Amino acid sequence: MMQLQNPVLRGFNPDPSFLRVGEDYYIATSTFEWFPGVAIYHSRDLVNWRMLGHGLTRKSQLDLVGIPDSGGIWAPALSMHDGIYYLVYTIVRNRLGAFKDVHNYLVTAPEITGPWSEPIYLNSSGFDPSLFHDDDGRKWVVNVQWDHRPAHPRFGGIVLQEYSSTQQRLIGPMVNICRKVPLIEGPNIYKANGFYYLMLAEGGTDWNHGISMARSKTIAGPYELDPQPLVLTSRKSPGAALQKAGHGELIQTVSGRWYLAHLCSRALYPARRCPLGRETAIQEVVWTADGWLRLKSGGTDPQNQCDVAESTKPHVWSAEPDRDDFNSPHLSPHWQSLRDPVAPDWADTSERPGFLRLRGRESPHSLFQQSILAQRIQSFHATAQCVLEFDPKHFSQCAGLIIYYDTRHHYYLRVTHDEKLGKVVGVVQTDAGVYLEHTPCQIAISDWPRIFLKAVIHDETLEFQASADGQVWHSFPVTCDFTKLSADYAGGFTGAFAGLCAQDLGGTRAIADFDYFQLQNH
């Protein structure tokens, strides 16, 4: 019997939406301010997963320019009915303070790989929408209702409304079908055992997170709460390897077994921070004799391993290279940009074959036009490396290797121009929005035609190195705290990325050419 090892999707892959179509399994995850939107993964055995691509690849589907850190795509929901794939998603324009400015949309596709349609607007009453396809052909959208009023619970319950495929809009009354304290979100409806089941994410997507259930004989309720408060949580198990467990979705296999995909985080101690972000794990679940969902392993703690049905045949995908030499005109789906879609006017692999050419744009603090491409860091022991050809003429021109959480929290090994030293390489950082240059340890490199850059992550420490030949490395005497690139320190909901970037604050779009990028997750 095979076993899957959790997390199955490592590094920033939160809010999994779980779908089975025949013998194929798909998971869609939140991407927040990163473009393209909604990462989609594929497996044929629940054990081995590969990134298939993204659901939202055009600016007409997803306009993120100017949205705040950890805004953008929250909790997508993937489904399939009558040969059509459906993807429901939220775009969060504002997430701070009393108000949530959110808009919910639906796109469809004939295949999981697309092409995905232009978006259909649903509502703006709250976030975390999902679409339920009932046996009678009717379709229903459920989402969190947000309440901005003082002295009212912000999470104002779960609302239900019918969706008309012919009219391509929500119709009929909006009904509040479930209120529960503490806060509930991430609703999904399932039909089993003669009941409609409402699965809920509970307690906030942090250390108190969990999954709870309710059920009803009719879709509009009233819903009876599960006598066991939580189906899954790690809130009472501080020593568990998988923390912050919650927000999940169910599938049933061809053989009839049930599995739950859920988010989780792995922490570094003693800081108790999770710089890899929220990841995705899978647990087997069963229905009790009285019709409630429980972990097959017993209790409520997420397990590091999970059995897969004996009848399942292993399906191992070809290994994906950890190095990109930019020899293809198309970027790997593992690359993501910030807010702004990749376009030839700022990121290109064909103008100089074998290189990624970035043209410098706005600063790493910008919410608008950053020239950055990055990949998820998936391990507490990781090495990112690149080689750069760059000839800055002014201090406003920079390029290099960045370890990034958001606009207010990142570390950057950058090449720039100094009036006295000429071309230099050194470490800069932004911590809680405060920018700092470690100028005493930067080095002059005007005689380096190529600049090799390296970032080494070892648990809580991050160190940078530079080389003129890729053989002899100069280590910078700056030890960075990798754990600060986490929601636990910085707030927000994303995870740490390693990437390439370029800035030209004077607006002349200085060119930086990268010959390769390698990210090894050890």
Please say if the pLDDT value at position 133 is more than 90: yes
Mean pLDDT computed over 424-430: 98
Q: Find how far residue 87's CA is from the centre of its chain.
A: 16
Q: Domains of the chain: which residue ranges?
A: 3-307, 323-521
Cα separation, 374 vs 380, in Å, equals 17
Buried/exposed 478-513: b ≥16 CB within 10 Å, e otherwise: bebbbbbbbbbbbebbbbbbbbbbbbbbeeeebbbb
What band does 494 get if pLDDT is binned at 50, 70 and 90?
very high
Q: Is 320 a catalytic residue?
A: no
Q: Considering 15, 324, 340, 504, which one is annotated as catalytic?
A: 15
Tokens of 512: 């930086």
Q: Find how far residue 166's CA is from the centre of its chain.
A: 32
Percent of the chain whose predicted confidence (pLDDT) is above 70: 100
**Beta strand 210-216 pairing with 224-225:** antiparallel
pLDDT in the model for residue 181:
72
Cα separation, 371 vs 428, in Å, equals 17
Is the backbone peptide bond immediately before 115 cis, with ω within 30 degrees of 0?
Answer: yes
C-alpha distances out from residue 64 to 114, 260, 369, 497, Å: 21, 30, 10, 18
pLDDT in the model for residue 180:
85
Q: Is 15 a catalytic residue?
A: yes
pLDDT in the model for residue 48:
97
Cα separation, 495 vs 263, in Å, equals 13
pLDDT tens, position by position, 345-393:
999 999 999 999 999 999 999 999 999 999 999 999 999 999 999 999 9
Mean pLDDT computed over 128-137: 97
Cα separation, 180 vs 313, in Å, equals 42
Mean pLDDT computed over 172-188: 92
Pick the closest to residue 247 from 74, 79, 42, 21 (CA basis).
74
More confident residue, 180 or 127: 127
Tokens of 408: 């207010």
179: amino acid identity, one letter: R
Which of these ranges, 29-33, 146-150, 312-316, 454-458, has the smallest mean pLDDT? 312-316
Q: Considering 33, 128, 185, 279, which one is annotated as catalytic?
A: 185
Cα separation, 318 vs 329, in Å, equals 21
Give the count of beta carbons closer than 10 Å to the beta carbon of residue 222. Answer: 10
Cα separation, 236 vs 490, in Å, equals 24
* Assigned CATH topology for domain 3-307: Tachylectin-2; Chain A (2.115.10)
pLDDT tens, position by position, 182-233:
789 999 999 999 999 999 999 999 999 999 999 999 999 999 999 999 999 9
CATH class of 323-521: mainly beta
Q: Residues, the chain, total?
A: 522
Mean pLDDT computed over 470-488: 97
Q: Name the DSSP letter for residue 438.
A: -
Cα separation, 274 vs 487, in Å, equals 7
pLDDT tens, position by position, 304-337:
999 997 778 899 999 999 999 999 999 999 999 9
Which of these ranges, 277-286, 309-318, 407-416, has the smallest mean pLDDT? 309-318
What band does 505 get if pLDDT is binned at 50, 70 and 90?
very high
